[in-house]
Amino acid sequence: MANNTSFESPDLYGIDDLLSPEHKVVRASMRDFVNREIIPVIEDYAQRAEFPTFMPRKFGEIGAFGPTLPADYGGGELDAISYGLMMQEIERGDSGMRSCVSVQSSLVMWPIFTYGSEEQKRHYLPKLAKGEMMGCFGLTEPNQGSDPAGMQTRFVEKRDHFVLNGSKLWITNGPIADLAVVWAKNEQGRIRGLLVERGMEGFSTPEIHHKWSLRASSTGELVFQEVRVPKENLLPGSDGLRSPLACLDQARYGIAWGAVGAAMDCYASALRYALERRQFGRPIASFQLVQKKLAEMATEITKAQLLCWRLGVLKNEGRATTAQISLAKRNNVEMALNIAREARQIHGAMGITGDYPIMRHLMNLESVITYEGTHDIHLLILGSDITGIPAFK
Amino acid sequence: MKILVCVTSVPDTTTKISFTDNNTKLNRAGVQYITGPYDDYALSRAVELKEQHGGTVTVLNVGEADTEPVIRKCLAIGADDAIRVNADPTDAFFVAEQIAAIARENAYDLILMGRESIDYNGGQVHGIVGEMLGLPSISPVMKLDIEGSKARITREIEGGKDELEATLPLVLGCQEPIAEWKIPNMRGIMSARTKPLKVVEPAGNDTLTKVAGYELPPPRGAVRMIPAEEAETLISLLRTEAKVL
Ligand SMILES: Cc1cc2nc3c(=O)[nH]c(=O)nc-3n(C[C@H](O)[C@H](O)[C@H](O)COP(=O)(O)OP(=O)(O)OC[C@H]3O[C@@H](n4cnc5c(N)ncnc54)[C@H](O)[C@@H]3O)c2cc1C
């Protein structure tokens, strides 16, 4: 059959009626793309713990990188809901693939677009949009995770350049990146963004091996030893911790949608399996305990869909706050992880194999619940917003 | 070259079908619609021919307002403009009449569509359109090349292939592998926003069929596995239960 749309997203609340025709086209196109390019190969790459190196070009061709940016810079001028639906579809395929896209779009292209000079934008964005150039985002350090304000990576001014020293850890796309958006302190202790390019002397990107999660995503370390960074590689508009945190808001917004995709895939697989698998002479879907699991999954997905949709509307209006984004990221990732666990049980022993996507989603989501602000840190962000008292400073 | 591609908006292949109104209407609640898969092939080939030879691709859909996502997708894939005839397309003759009416107003070199829609699977529209316009109609076309005013066509026939040559204009019902079906990219979706979509009211209302009622096929029975060494059991079941021997 021409259209390989062998997936229909659950829509128990007629949420599709809230989407525009353009939103539906975006979703349908990404769904076809994911069905054609990601789902047939991803299990193998994940099993081998290998990043599919051909994927960036494919993402570039379909327009997954920087889809909300102006067309002048290679973007697609789509709105926040379209962007969210794209993340949902890609993460239905694999959280590692969604991570690759989130980093490139929200953590590399977005800061260059927002804090970069016109020259930097013209130079980098079109190549990043096409996937000819890959980027990564270096904030976390070996000693600074949830508390990035204490970062140790520093740069000092030397005549016409800066000298950068330090390291970043757990960096998605690091080993494959041509460009790193690096957050470091200047001599005054102020956090600024620097564009560090592969090939600069003293810059290396060792890969992190033996991950049980996001195995098809490339994760590494960024090491800076006396790296000479030209002064024009400073992001002029970046100033203070606020700048990287604003990038994280963009990425977390996408994760809130993405998690729904992973949950939908687990739910769809569990529902199909429950209807086909027979025990005690009946489909296991006929047992109340299995129905309870499925009904709860459908309920949680519906609530998460509504959160995403409303957050998308707020974002389109320029009103989405950090606390609102934290709420959605936190809720939806936990929801997806719970659904993955329940779905695994419904699949019985089959659920632990790579013949079904469940274990891969389950293990992937263990990263998603930790990165971009841990599950508990998002509680503290919300708590601070509600009480006016930050508990983490 | 001016190409018209007629597309249907049909329930996704995974849709669970149910009926309303005393089994005379499809229950559309929760149904996700897609471009007819064979129409997708026709459109993909049209876009390729336009890239090779220049010209325009117009998409035509007979359908109500809810088919707009399907039309927008066709524009995003590379059609230049679109026409929607505002009517519910349940009858092949009626749909053909609408297509013929649009075709008479515009001198298209090629009128492409899928070999059949995958909702009613009638496979009649291209034939009727050809007859109404006095043009040759050929289906199912699996290969199409254009040289000047000639079309080289490969058509599937029972147990083989038919190589044809015909002079434009033509009406063709298409199927795979005429082209690889295309997924629109995000920039295409953006540029589709400004492409014209004209809505026109139907010409005439001659439906030749009326739906008396729909019925679902009986549910598939469960599979019974019989070990290879028990061939006699199989024979006796085929006799006594399946009653096919
Ligand atoms: C696969 C993967 C990819 C990643 N990609 C990137 C990337 O591309 N770029 C990047 O910069 N980073 C990346 N990260 C890093 C990620 O953002 C951090 O792991 C995360 O911020 C948590 O930091 P940490 O691991 O150092 O944990 P810690 O901060 O050490 O936290 C450990 C535990 O302590 C809890 N905790 C910490 N502080 C408090 C507090 N005040 N109150 C209560 N509990 C607290 C946390 O919730 C957590 O449970 C990635 C991580 C992973 C796993």
- Residue B208 pLDDT greater than 90, yes or no: no
Q: What tens digit of pLDDT does each residue of A336-385 get?
A: 999 999 999 999 999 999 999 999 999 999 999 999 999 999 999 999 99
With the most atoms of ligand 1 within 8 angstroms of its CB, the residue from A170, A179, A255 to mutate is A170
Cβ–ligand 1 contact at A170 (below 6 Å) = yes
Query: How high is the pLDDT of residue A182?
Result: 98
- Residue A3 pLDDT greater than 70, yes or no: no
Query: How high is the pLDDT of residue B182?
Result: 92
Q: Which residue of A has its CA nearest to B16?
A: A8
CA of B172 to the centre of ligand 1 (A): 59
Mean pLDDT of chain B: 93
Q: What tens digit of pLDDT does each residue of B71-85 get?
A: 999 999 999 999 999
Q: CA-to-CA distance for A141 and A163, rounded, in angstroms?
A: 18
Written as one string, the DSSP assignment of B224-239 is ----GGGHHHHHHHHH
Q: Does the distance separating the beta carbons of A71 and B38 come in below 8 Å?
A: no
CATH 2.40.110.10 intervals, chain A: 136-233
- Residue B222 pLDDT greater than 80, yes or no: no
Q: What tens digit of pLDDT does each residue of A186-237 get?
A: 999 999 999 999 999 999 999 999 999 999 999 999 999 999 999 999 999 9
Q: Are B84 and B61 in contact (CB under 8 A)?
A: yes
Cβ–ligand 1 contact at A379 (below 6 Å) = no
Sign of torsion over alpha carbons A284, A287, A289, A294:
positive
Query: How high is the pLDDT of residue B224?
Result: 81
What average pLDDT does this structure show over B205-227?
85
Least CB–CB distance from A21: residue in B12, B14, B69 = B69
Q: What tens digit of pLDDT does each residue of B148-180 get?
A: 999 999 999 999 999 999 999 999 999 999 999
Q: Which residues of A162-200 are buried (b: 16+ CB within 10 A; e: fewer)?
A: bbbbbbbbbbbbbbbbbbbbbbbbeeeeebbbbbbbeeb
What average pLDDT does this structure show over B36-61?
97
Query: How high is the pLDDT of residue A144?
Result: 96
Tell me the CA distances in angstroms from A154 to A188, A234, A239, A388, one per residue in order.
10, 13, 14, 32
Quick check: bond before B177 cis, omega within 30?
Answer: yes
- Concerning whether A372 is annotated as a catalytic residue, the answer is yes
CATH 1.10.540.10 intervals, chain A: 15-133
Fold of A136-233: Butyryl-CoA Dehydrogenase, subunit A; domain 2 (2.40.110)
ipTM: 0.88
Tell me which CATH code domain A242-387 carries: 1.20.140.10
Least CB–CB distance from A6: residue in B14, B68, B73 = B14
Q: Are A255 and A186 in contact (CB under 8 A)?
A: no
Query: How high is the pLDDT of residue B245?
Result: 84
- Residue A269 pLDDT greater than 50, yes or no: yes
CA of A224 to the centre of ligand 1 (A): 21
Q: What tens digit of pLDDT does each residue of A29-43 get?
A: 999 999 999 999 999
Residue A142 sits at the vertex; the CA angle it makes with A138 and A145, to the nearest 5 degrees, is 70
Q: CA-to-CA distance for B9 and B61, rounded, in angstroms?
A: 8
Class for domain A15-133, per CATH?
Answer: mainly alpha
Give how far A270 is from chain B: nearest CA, Å.
Answer: 16
Q: Are B107 and B4 in contact (CB under 8 A)?
A: no
Mean pLDDT of chain A: 96
Cβ–ligand 1 contact at A370 (below 6 Å) = yes
Q: What tens digit of pLDDT does each residue of A167-179 get?
A: 999 999 999 999 9
> How does residue A6 score in pLDDT terms, banded at 50, 70 and 90?
low
What average pLDDT does this structure show over B6-13?
93
Give the rounded percent of residues in chain A with a pLDDT score beyond 90.
97
Domain B2-217 sits in CATH 3.40.50.620: yes
Q: CA-to-CA distance for A327 and A255, rounded, in angstroms?
A: 12
Q: Are A185 and A151 in contact (CB under 8 A)?
A: yes
**A2: which chain B residues are within 8 Å (Cβ-Cβ)?**
37-38, 40-41, 176, 181
Cβ–ligand 1 contact at A139 (below 6 Å) = yes
Q: What tens digit of pLDDT does each residue of A113-165 get?
A: 999 999 999 999 999 999 999 999 999 999 999 999 999 999 999 999 999 99
CA of B11 to the centre of ligand 1 (A): 44
Written as one string, the DSSP assignment of A246-281 is HHHHHHHHHHHHHHHHHHHHHHHHHHHHHHH-EETT
> How does residue A5 score in pLDDT terms, banded at 50, 70 and 90?
very low
- Residue A270 pLDDT greater than 70, yes or no: yes
What average pLDDT does this structure show over B81-92?
94
For chain A, what is the largest distance between any 2 Cα atoms, rounded to a whole number of angstroms? 80
- Residue A70 pLDDT greater than 90, yes or no: yes
Q: Are A241 and A186 in contact (CB under 8 A)?
A: no
State the CB neighbour count (10 A cutoff) for residue A391: 10
3-state secondary structure of B33: strand
- Sequence-distant (≥ 6) Cβ neighbours of residue A106 within 8 angstroms: A247, A250, A251, A253, A254
